[in-house]
Chain A
Amino acid sequence: MAIQKVIYKKLLPLTTLFIFLLCAGYSQKVVRYDLYVKDTLVAFAGKEKRAIAVNGQIPMPTLSFTEGDTAEIHVHNLLKEETSLHWHGLFLPNKEDGVPNLTQMPIKPGTTHIYRFPIIQHGTHWYHSHSGLQEQIGMYGSMILNKRSADIEKRKDVDGLPTVPLILSEWTNYKPDNVHRMLHNATDWFALKKNAVQSYGEAIGAGHFKTKLRNEWKRMLAMDVSDVYYDKILMNGKPESVIDTVDGKKLKAGDKVRLRISNGAASSYFWLRYAGGKITVVANDGNDVVPVEVDRLIIAVSETYDIVLNIPAEGTAYELLATTEDRTNSASVYIGSGIKQLISPLPRLKYFEGMKMMNDMMKMNGDLDDMGMNMSLNQMDMNVVMYPEITGEVKPKQKEDDPNRYNANALSDIVTLNYAMLKAPEKTTLPDVPVKVLQFELTGNMNRYVWSMNNKVVSETDKILVKKGENLRLLIYNGSMMRHPMHLHGHDFRVLNGQGEYAPLKNVIDIMPMETDTLEFNANVEGDWFFHCHILYHMMSGMGRVFSYKDQQPNPLILNPKLAQRKLFADDRKMHFMFQNDVATNGNDGEMMLQNTRWSIGTEWRLGYNDMHGYETETHIGRYIGKMQWLMPFIGFDWRYRKMGLHAEEKNMFGQSNTKDNRAVISAGLNYTLPMLVRFQGEIFTDGIVRLQLMREDIPLTKRLRFAFMVNTDKEYMTGLHYIFSRALAVRTHYDSDMGFGAGFTFAY
């Protein structure tokens, strides 16, 4: 009896284990991929440039799994730099999430890292590098999680269709680091390339002089709907391609095709339009939605949409056109075989109408005013005032007080998708547990390219602690002038969009300026989860937060949490360098600056060619204050040497005299940006002298011509013009009260 008991006791767990293993072996297929990450050269836009290829290809290979599989992905880093891979939209253990210095340490050059996690969901997802700016130069790919065959039967009219994954991306011939640096230095080179400078000359030509004046009065630089100019747009790595066969079967008239589209671009939104009729949206961010027919949709950075397209006629391939939001570039894929039926490109944006709209929305203190419209879910698109296909070619026809004046679907017969039209096929309600409400304002300022949440960047904030099991409700208001696709790692959230219990599930939500959206999710997986804007350059500027579960197990991959945090924070603390020097007939002057979110270290110099003209430098170290960063107090150091001869002494406007011949002083002062973007500088030096100064250097007269002026209480003044030849070179002529008239070249970096 006793023996029997012992055997029983010993055997039972063994058998259970055996049965468990058997089950596991049966349903849990391990699917392994080996990814070799390597430097490569590509020529997407004419010139050979560095890119990163995985297994020799861009985009990275499509990874497919079926719900219930276990994914095992071996990442071999053959680069000379660190890397990582993030599985966008996937539910997985935190240490597999692939955010370097947060959920794991970066994958060092020459090493291999293994990601291993069960696939517990289905849908269209994608994966990308989360290290630096690697995503911009090739590290993005589709990740398709198929349904179990029993689930396919339930929605056979969609899931049984021929299916093709498509990943969108963009290419620039500039190094992404350089793009990032240029953005932080408020370059208008990209606007110039896009023909979107919106200068005074162009404004007068379009009858919008007052609009431009009012815009600058409100301290706005010319706005565009996107920041970066790209040379090429790619779909599955090609600007143009044909899909005429799927799984070896030729497509024919009457067929339907399902495209699983991911936006793997670093900073571009795309309009999707189809030459063969309506687009049926069947899933979003990997979650099924009740099919909805539209004429067009915009896919935000990092979103995914599954769409179904018809092939209406025989012998014809129909164009699916992906156009960047700024409409400067596009990519096409032709669905079907035969002669290619085109769709018209989107007409150019009416920039000055957009400027006028921004003027109306912007208060003098930099806050936005939605004039009581309560915008949300992309239903009201302020940008429609710029869309000729909606609001007409010339003057907008809608009235000032029309409640629908920004509602694209009410203004025209073109049906544009918005989030309120998405409905989950099944109930998505959360468990009935306590709700924690968090409010965020998306903040930022284009002039200095600072992007933040509640006016703080990642390195300036603590992790947000959440309790496992509770529900989180996020109220997010976008108070900045750009739209932001906000992405949450490791969870799907419900978007409260008026569909009640059938609110759609997403993991990215695009929030337009002045919109407020409400999201909620159940905190059900421990870990440190990143929540951030998915525009790569906004993320790297610190626009994000980390949700961290209370009392969680330490992450075994983060051995030194302090070091990891410092490295994570280094991203948005990075200093951006700029340099400019003018070599002219009357002297040599220039400046260089190092700047980050709050700090600025800058040196200016004016070097004459003889002692009479003199030599001087000013160095300022300052900190930007406030949301709009118009105010910057600083401390400075000035040095000057000059031999004047006669009039050796000069008096300033306050009657203080100053030899200026050999002067080395320390100062305290402040910069303030006045309306019309004029920079006021007040400074008091250790020798008691006070100097007040007004200046502006970049007044856009025409697309390429800029006007500059400076005047101060030392009775010095300068006025000049420069013409921009290329990104680095301009011709400049100016008159300086010290140095006289001069002409020369300006080099900028």
Chain B
Amino acid sequence: MKSFILLAFAALFTNNIAFAQIDNSVTVSAKIYGNCGMCKNSIEKAADKKKISKAIWDKDTKLANITYNSTKTSLDAVLKDIALAGYDNQSFLAPDDAYNKLPECCKYKRENKQPAVAQTLQPAPSSHENHEEHNQSKQDNTIKSTNQLTAVFDSYFTLKDALVKTDGNQASVKAKELKTAIEAVKMDKLGMDVHTVWMKLVNGLTEDAEHINETKDIAHQRDHFMRLSKNMYELMKVSKTSAPVYYQFCPMANNGKGANWLSREAGIKNPYYGAQMLTCGKTVETIQQ
């Protein structure tokens, strides 16, 4: 009898150990992107909170069984922690820097991440309403061309930012976006003057964007960025930009021959050296509208 009670106690005790880890537990299945066994470790580690939540992830189905204490946390809170570790999932996209820090084998395809669209243009100030008709159409033209080239300029600047950070992977991604933006430009909608310049530059622009996209070698990317920046400068000179753009020059780049780049900020952030010599250079021209 005695031993039976003891046994019962023991059973109860082990039972407790096995199931009392997470109270009020709820288990659900959630989609989490990832590739390999390393991802599995990181995902499960991110979800593992003592007595509060845990996850078991399957790399083939990309599904995780997430068990959590529903009075202490929520599914979204667990998924947020997983995303902060670098893994996109059904509710959250990982911060870009967290994704970039993942080991190479874990860099899954980011299916849920949507490409950026061109910004919707703000309504023009109504004080321009009474302009003469040809003035009006000219203005329309300018707006169209600006609108068309905005995406090109935007991706140039993000590419530049990636080079400032000496991030070859990111630069490659941004160069791809630049190439896409260049291809999306409808030449016939550009203003006359812009059209001419565009015709002259488009091949060079595309070529440099392609080269930067194809490699992750930062030195090679920076070589192409020199010519890309020169062409971009000519384009910006003729088309209209909404905010001032600064044409900047570092005398040390290009083996001491110097090289230029464009920036939306007056402060110097050198894309040819990055952190090595971040503030080397000066503004040589300010392009205003």
Contact = CB atoms under 8 A, between A and B. Distances in A.
A342 B279 contact: no
- Chain B's interface size range is 35 or more
A347 to B, nearest CB: 11
A309 to B, nearest CB: 11
A153 B120 contact: no
Given A316-B114, A344-B84, A310 B119 contact: yes
Given A153-B125, A342-B95, A344-B97, A312 B84 contact: no
B95 A314 contact: no
**Interface of B (DSSP majority class):** loop
Interface in A338-361: 339-345
Contacts of B120: 254-256
A430 interface: no
Nearest to B264: A293
A156 B123 CA distance: 7
A372 B164 CA distance: 31
A247 interface: no
B256 interface: no
Contacts of B92: 339-342
Task: Point out which of A154, A312, A411 has the most chain B C-beta atoms below 10 A from its C-beta.
Answer: A312
A246 to B, nearest CB: 14
B122 interface: yes
B115 interface: yes
Contacts of A411: 278
Given A409-B267, A413-B278, A415-B265, A342 B119 contact: no
Given A339-B93, A340-B91, A415-B265, A345 B84 contact: yes
Interface in A299-353: 310, 312-316, 339-345
Contacts of B118: 254
A413 B97 CA distance: 14
A157 B122 contact: yes
A313 B97 CA distance: 18
A22 interface: no
Interface in B85-113: 90-95, 97-98, 112-113
Given A316-B93, A413-B164, A156 B125 contact: yes
B126 A312 contact: no
B262 to A, nearest CB: 15
B171 interface: no
Contacts of B115: 313
Nearest to B86: A344
Interface in A270-295: 275, 293
B5 interface: no
B6 interface: no
Contacts of B97: 344
A740 interface: no
Contacts of B112: 339
B82 to A, nearest CB: 10
B208 interface: no
B32 to A, nearest CB: 13
Contacts of B243: 293
A379 to B, nearest CB: 12
Contacts of A253: 114, 116-117
A341 B265 contact: no
Given A153-B126, A156-B122, A342 B117 contact: no
Interface in A679-720: none
Contacts of A341: 92-93, 95, 113
Contact of A342 (B83, B114, B116, B123): B83
B3 interface: no
A659 B90 CA distance: 80
B126 A314 contact: no
A170 to B, nearest CB: 20
Contacts of A314: 114, 117
Contacts of B269: 413
A268 to B, nearest CB: 22
A160 interface: yes
B127 interface: yes
Given A313-B115, A413-B161, A413-B164, A342 B80 contact: yes
Contacts of A154: 125
A378 to B, nearest CB: 16
A588 B169 CA distance: 67
B165 interface: yes
Contacts of A343: 95
A161 B123 CA distance: 10
Nearest to B125: A156
A410 interface: yes
A153 B265 contact: no
Interface in A407-431: 409-413, 415
Contacts of A404: 279
B161 A342 contact: no
Contacts of A310: 119
B117 A153 contact: no
Nearest to B122: A157
A313 B114 contact: yes
Given A256-B119, A342-B84, A413-B165, A315 B114 contact: yes
A156 to B, nearest CB: 6
A547 B153 CA distance: 52
Contacts of A315: 114
B235 to A, nearest CB: 21
A345 B85 CA distance: 11
B47 to A, nearest CB: 15
21 contacts: A153-B127, A255-B120, A310-B119, A313-B113, A313-B115, A315-B114, A339-B93, A340-B91, A341-B113, A342-B80, A342-B92, A342-B98, A343-B95, A404-B279, A410-B278, A410-B279, A413-B161, A413-B164, A413-B269, A413-B278, A415-B265
Given A157-B123, A256-B122, A313-B116, 15 more contacts: A156-B123, A156-B125, A161-B122, A253-B117, A254-B117, A254-B118, A293-B264, A310-B119, A312-B117, A314-B117, A340-B93, A342-B98, A344-B97, A410-B278, A413-B165
Pairs of residues from A and B, 7 with the lowest C-beta to C-beta distance, nearest first? A313-B114, A254-B120, A344-B95, A312-B116, A157-B122, A341-B93, A253-B117
Interface of B: 80, 83-84, 90-95, 97-98, 112-120, 122-123, 125-127, 161, 164-165, 243, 264-265, 267, 269, 278-279
Interface of A: 153-154, 156-157, 160-161, 253-256, 275, 293, 310, 312-316, 339-345, 404, 409-413, 415
